[in-house]
A and B are shown apart, each in its own frame.
Chain A
Amino acid sequence: MARVLRGRAWKYGDNVDTDAIIPARYLNVSTPEALAEHCMEDIDAGFVEKVQAGDMIVGGANFGCGSSREHAPLALKGAGVSCVIASSFARIFFRNAIDIGLLILECPEAVEGTETGQVLEVDLEQGTVTNLDTGQTFQAEPYPPFLMGIIEAGGLIPYTRAKLEE
Chain B
Amino acid sequence: MGQTIAEKILAAHTAGSVAPGKLVEVQVDMVLANDITAPISIREFAKLGVDKVFDTNKVALVPDHFAPNKDIKAAEQCKVLREFARRYGIANYWEVGRMGIEHVLLPEQGLVLPGDVVVGADSHTCTYGAVGAFATGMGSTDIAVAMATGSIWMKVPDTIRIVYRGQRQPWVGGKDLILYTIGLIGVEGARYQAIEFAGSAVAALPMSGRFTMSNMAIEAGGKAGLFVVDKATRGYLDGRASRSWTAYDADPDAAYARVIEIDVSEIEPQVAFPHLPSNARPVSEAGTIQIDQVVIGSCTNGRWDDLVEAASVLGGRRVHDDVRCVVIPGTQEIYLRAVREGLAEAFVEAGAVFSTPTCGPCLGGHMGVLAAGERCVSTTNRNFVGRMGHVESKVYLAGPAVAAASAIAGRIVGPEEVLN
Contacts and interface: CB of A to CB of B under 8 A. Distances in A.
Interface string A132-161: 000000000000101100000001110011
A23 B276 CA distance: 15
Contacts of B142: 95-96, 99, 156
- In this complex, the member of A27, A68, A91, A157 whose beta carbon has the largest number of chain B beta carbons within 10 angstroms is A68
A27 B359 CA distance: 13
Interface stretch (B46-54, B207-215, B238-246): B46-54
Contacts of A65: 187-188, 221
Interface stretch (A12-20, A47-55, A77-85, A121-129): A12-20
Contacts of B385: 19-20, 42-43
B65 interface: yes
A164 interface: yes
B187 A62 contact: yes
B26 interface: no
B369 interface: yes
A160 B48 contact: yes
A90 B47 contact: no
A63 B412 CA distance: 31
Contact of A157 (B39, B44, B187, B391): B44
Contact of A88 (B40, B191, B391): B191
A62 B191 contact: yes
A4 interface: no
Interface stretch (B92-100, B127-135, B144-152, B323-331): B144-152
B139 A69 contact: yes
A93 B145 CA distance: 17
Interface stretch (B6-14, B71-79, B304-312): B71-79
B153 interface: yes
Contact of A69 (B23, B37, B148, B221): B37
A116 interface: no
Contact of A70 (B73, B140, B384, B386): B140
Interface in B330-386: 363-365, 369, 382, 384-386
A30 B48 contact: no
Contacts of A19: 363, 382, 384-387
Contacts of B114: none
A92 B223 CA distance: 9
A29 interface: yes
Contact of B73 (A28, A100, A156): A28
A68 B137 contact: yes
A70 B369 CA distance: 23
A68 B37 contact: yes
Nearest to A99: B141
A33 B235 CA distance: 49
B138 interface: yes
B84 interface: no
B294 interface: no
B384 A68 contact: no
Interface residues of B, number: 52
A92 B139 contact: yes
Nearest to A45: B391
Contacts of B137: 68, 92
Contact of A92 (B23, B39, B123, B363): B123
Contact of A17 (B139, B149, B384): B384
Interface in B218-233: 221, 223
Interface string B100-127: 0000000000000000000011110100
Nearest to A19: B384
A41 B70 CA distance: 22
A65 B37 CA distance: 17
A120 B232 CA distance: 55
A23 B141 contact: no
Interface in A89-112: 90-92, 95-96, 99-100
B273 interface: no
A19 B390 CA distance: 12
A149 to B, nearest CB: 10
A27 B74 CA distance: 8
B389 interface: yes
A25 B191 contact: no
A-B pairs, top 8 by smallest CB distance, nearest first, are: A24-B363, A96-B139, A28-B73, A70-B139, A99-B141, A68-B123, A62-B188, A68-B137
Interface of B: 23, 36-37, 39-40, 43-44, 47-50, 65-66, 70-71, 73-74, 77, 120-123, 125, 137-142, 144-145, 148-149, 153, 187-188, 191-192, 221, 223, 276, 363-365, 369, 382, 384-387, 389, 391
Interface of A: 15, 17, 19-20, 23-25, 27-30, 41-43, 61-62, 65-71, 73-74, 88, 90-92, 95-96, 99-100, 144, 146-147, 155-157, 160-161, 164-165
5 contacts: A28-B71, A70-B40, A91-B192, A100-B141, A157-B47
Given A25-B386, A74-B40, 17 more contacts: A15-B276, A19-B387, A20-B385, A23-B364, A24-B387, A25-B363, A27-B36, A62-B187, A62-B188, A70-B140, A92-B123, A96-B141, A99-B141, A155-B141, A156-B145, A161-B47, A164-B48
